[in-house]
Chain A
Amino acid sequence: MAFLTISHLVKDFGSLRVVKDFNLDIAKGEFVSLLGPSGCGKTTVLRMVAGFEAPSLGSITIDGQDVTALRPNQRNIGMVFQAYALFPNLTVAQNVGFGLKVAGMAAAEQKARVSEMLDLIGLPEKGPSYPFQLSGGQQQRVALARALAVKPRVLLLDEPLSALDAKIRVSLRTEIREIQKRLGITTIFVTHDQEEALSMSDRVVVMNGGVAEQVATPFDIYNRPATRFVANFVGALSTLQARVIDAGAGRVALGEVEMTLSGPVPPGPSVTVALRPEAAHLGRGNGRETVLQGVIRDVNFMGSVIRIKADVAGATLSMDTFNRPDTPPPPIGSQAEISLAARDLIILEP
């Protein structure tokens, strides 16, 4: 049974409908990310769960309790904000203990809990410091400790890593995930960064235009995108037009090369198929039965990986190949054989 249920949620701002019939069930202890471009409604959904926005329609239930009409301070939901939102007039310890004090916890218990939380985030010595004396990463960890100190039923993370530099972001996302797993707290994470969403989540909700386009595991979101938007938004993708030979059997042709896809294709003269860069291979490869002829158009050296773009069957195909010092990338303009497995081709909706 779902621990948190969002049911037929709608939010209108004036005449603009920013969330359209949004539904989501989250199990206890699950880490779910809302992923999407700016303006897709992900933050609005989160704010409605937190109680900062009232839904125009729909309901939110936590552990069997309908919280739709409850005020934010009655929901027992912890929230971490993009801008940290630490109280500048309070020390780190006072910030972490704020919710405990509001709840009327005894001073000795408060002290013990604050100490436990500071240990959890690895900042046991920072209790007497003020927020302005901490780095951005430390401030966000304190914000996390503050949100967790009150033992909330649900933890909401509103782009908590966006304001941090790249290196801190990577280390903090691992830290957040480890803490979340250790505490087993149900978590909703809002981000526009697909790498964050894919690496941290049990499930990802890809949103677009106020609706959930797909709710699935990161593996499925990446490898089996349900819609054209998901396919394009998550990860790099090359799209190719294939001629349909037998729609029911999934038989198509790319240029002169015929192949059988993993499933039936929509009826019609042609179908759009997509391929991840790592699924295409320069030269002939084991298990890649389809070989196409192409012309190398661009080579991007990215360290451990080299991304090569080639003109194939009237389209540009990207492929990633591991960098090997003894094998230099092909020269631009040269002819090349590109192999792929037909099962790796993603059939996109018309």
Chain B
Amino acid sequence: MKALAWFSFLFGATFFILPLIGMAEFSLSMLRGVYSFEAYRVVLRDPAFQATFLYSVMMALGTIVLGIGLVVPTAYWVRLRLPQARPLIEFITLLPLVIPAIVIVYGYIRMFNTSSILPLTGSVTGTNILLLFGYTTLALPYMYRAVDTGLRTIDVGTLTEAAQSLGAGWVTILGRLILPNVLTAVLSGAFLTFAIVIGEFTMAALLNRPAFGPYMQLMGANRAYEPAALAVIAFGITWACMGLISVVGRLSKHTRAAR
């Protein structure tokens, strides 16, 4: 029985890992006959890589800030005062999973084009803001779930009342009590958001922004070894984010806090 379990695990792992090994091996084969990091060197020295990667990192950070600002107060308020609205909020936050990004971005373009009341696509800043909103929408299911799960681990109602009885207002309660207590969950959502934004293609491409996703696509269409190197880098970033989620969870000082 144990052997069968191991066989199933190894078969599954092989199915998943073999293509990655193949891709990594291919990314190291740019120079004929030897393994080297030449493809990585070429990619990392490419000014377009640096510009697009920096752009996506900045967008990811902006998305995280906006997401936290939107989701933490919403999830907190729903848990505290509007528990009956929870199914509706959950449904809304799940919509980005069932509505393709292309539909969302076409909706944005139609709503905010240059002939609309709010012509965001008419300027670079406006389009960046639009993309930021788009990314926030895409990350909503992950961020909301992460924060909601975090809120579930603390007695939101009693902690809020205790803080109120000590004279605290809403901003103090959210900033100094609720957010720090769900920080691990918020960071989990943040890292997931980061991973999503770094690799996102559809929205950035259709809004014509110089993001990392369209750059990867461009490289894939024109080069042989560099796209494999880029894919390995992208995987590395994603895994690093996943690792950080786990590390943050373990390092949290008060994970065993009384509920």
| Residue B233 CB within 8 A of the other chain | no
* Smallest CB separation, B180 vs chain A (Å): 4
- B166 adjacent to A102 (CB under 8 Å): yes
- B154 adjacent to A73 (CB under 8 Å): no
A81-B161 contact, Cβ under 8 Å, with A73-B167, A102-B168: yes
| Residue A340 CB within 8 A of the other chain | no
Chain B residues whose CB sits within 8 angstroms of the CB of A139 once the complex forms: 258
- B155 adjacent to A83 (CB under 8 Å): yes
| Residue B2 CB within 8 A of the other chain | no
- B164 adjacent to A85 (CB under 8 Å): no
Instruction: Considering the complex, give the chain B residue whose CB is closest to the CB of A86.
Output: B258
* Cα of A72 to Cα of B181 in the assembled complex, Å: 22
| Residue A98 CB within 8 A of the other chain | yes
Pick from A52, A89, A150: contact of B180, CB under 8 Å: A89
Tell me the chain B residues, 28-75 only, with Cβ under 8 Å from chain A: none
* Cα of A291 to Cα of B184 in the assembled complex, Å: 73
Looking at A78, A83, A89, A103, the one whose CB has the most chain B CB atoms below 10 A away is A89
* Smallest CB separation, B7 vs chain A (Å): 42
| Residue B254 CB within 8 A of the other chain | yes
- A130 adjacent to B253 (CB under 8 Å): yes
Q: Mark B245-259, 1 if CB is under 8 A from A, else 0.
A: 000000001101111
Instruction: Considering the complex, give the chain A residue whose CB is closest to the CB of B172.
Output: A102
- A81 adjacent to B162 (CB under 8 Å): yes
Pick from B169, B253, B259: contact of A73, CB under 8 Å: B169
Tell me the chain B residues, 83-104 only, with Cβ under 8 Å from chain A: none
- B161 adjacent to A79 (CB under 8 Å): yes
- B162 adjacent to A87 (CB under 8 Å): yes
A77-B254 contact, Cβ under 8 Å, with A85-B155, A87-B159, A87-B177: no
- A79 adjacent to B162 (CB under 8 Å): yes
Instruction: Considering the complex, give the chain A residue whose CB is closest to the CB of B255.
Output: A132
Chain A residues whose CB sits within 8 angstroms of the CB of B254 once the complex forms: 88-89, 130-132
Chain B residues whose CB sits within 8 angstroms of the CB of A75 once the complex forms: 165
- B161 adjacent to A52 (CB under 8 Å): yes
The interface size of chain A toward B, counting residues with CB under 8 Å, comes to 33
Instruction: Considering the complex, give the chain B residue whose CB is closest to the CB of A71.
Output: B164
| Residue B129 CB within 8 A of the other chain | no
Query: How many A-B pairs with Cβ below 8 Å?
Result: 86
| Residue A50 CB within 8 A of the other chain | yes
- B166 adjacent to A99 (CB under 8 Å): yes
- A73 adjacent to B168 (CB under 8 Å): yes
Chain A residues whose CB sits within 8 angstroms of the CB of B259 once the complex forms: 83
| Residue B158 CB within 8 A of the other chain | yes
| Residue A222 CB within 8 A of the other chain | no
Pick from A50, A83, A84, A130: contact of B165, CB under 8 Å: A50
A150-B158 contact, Cβ under 8 Å, with A88-B181, A88-B254, A139-B258: no
* Smallest CB separation, A64 vs chain B (Å): 21
Instruction: Considering the complex, give the chain B residue whose CB is closest to the CB of A104.
Output: B167
| Residue A281 CB within 8 A of the other chain | no
| Residue A262 CB within 8 A of the other chain | no
Tell me the chain A residues, 150-187 only, with Cβ under 8 Å from chain B: 150, 156
Instruction: Considering the complex, give the chain A residue whose CB is closest to the CB of B159.
Output: A85
| Residue A290 CB within 8 A of the other chain | no
- A130 adjacent to B162 (CB under 8 Å): no
| Residue B196 CB within 8 A of the other chain | no
| Residue B20 CB within 8 A of the other chain | no
Pick from A50, A83, A86, A150: contact of B167, CB under 8 Å: A150
Chain B residues whose CB sits within 8 angstroms of the CB of A52 once the complex forms: 161, 164
Chain A residues whose CB sits within 8 angstroms of the CB of B219 once the complex forms: none
- A84 adjacent to B258 (CB under 8 Å): yes
- A132 adjacent to B257 (CB under 8 Å): yes
A85-B161 contact, Cβ under 8 Å, with A102-B166, A131-B257, A139-B258: yes
* Cα of A88 to Cα of B154 in the assembled complex, Å: 9
Chain B residues whose CB sits within 8 angstroms of the CB of A147 once the complex forms: 165-166
- A50 adjacent to B161 (CB under 8 Å): yes
Instruction: Considering the complex, give the chain B residue whose CB is closest to the CB of A152.
Output: B165
- A73 adjacent to B159 (CB under 8 Å): no
| Residue A146 CB within 8 A of the other chain | yes
* Smallest CB separation, B168 vs chain A (Å): 5
Chain A residues whose CB sits within 8 angstroms of the CB of B237 once the complex forms: none
| Residue B163 CB within 8 A of the other chain | yes
Instruction: Considering the complex, give the chain A residue whose CB is closest to the CB of B180.
Output: A89
* Cα of A146 to Cα of B165 in the assembled complex, Å: 10
Chain A residues whose CB sits within 8 angstroms of the CB of B164 once the complex forms: 51-52, 71-73
Chain B residues whose CB sits within 8 angstroms of the CB of A156 once the complex forms: 165
Instruction: Considering the complex, give the chain B residue whose CB is closest to the CB of A72.
Output: B164
- A102 adjacent to B167 (CB under 8 Å): yes
- B165 adjacent to A78 (CB under 8 Å): yes
Given pairs A102-B166, A130-B257, A131-B258, 11 additional interface contacts (CB within 8 A): A79-B161, A81-B162, A83-B258, A86-B162, A88-B181, A89-B257, A99-B168, A102-B167, A102-B168, A132-B257, A146-B166
Q: 13 A-B pairs, CB-CB below 8 angstroms? A: A51-B164, A72-B165, A78-B165, A83-B158, A85-B155, A85-B162, A88-B258, A98-B163, A99-B167, A102-B168, A139-B258, A147-B165, A150-B166
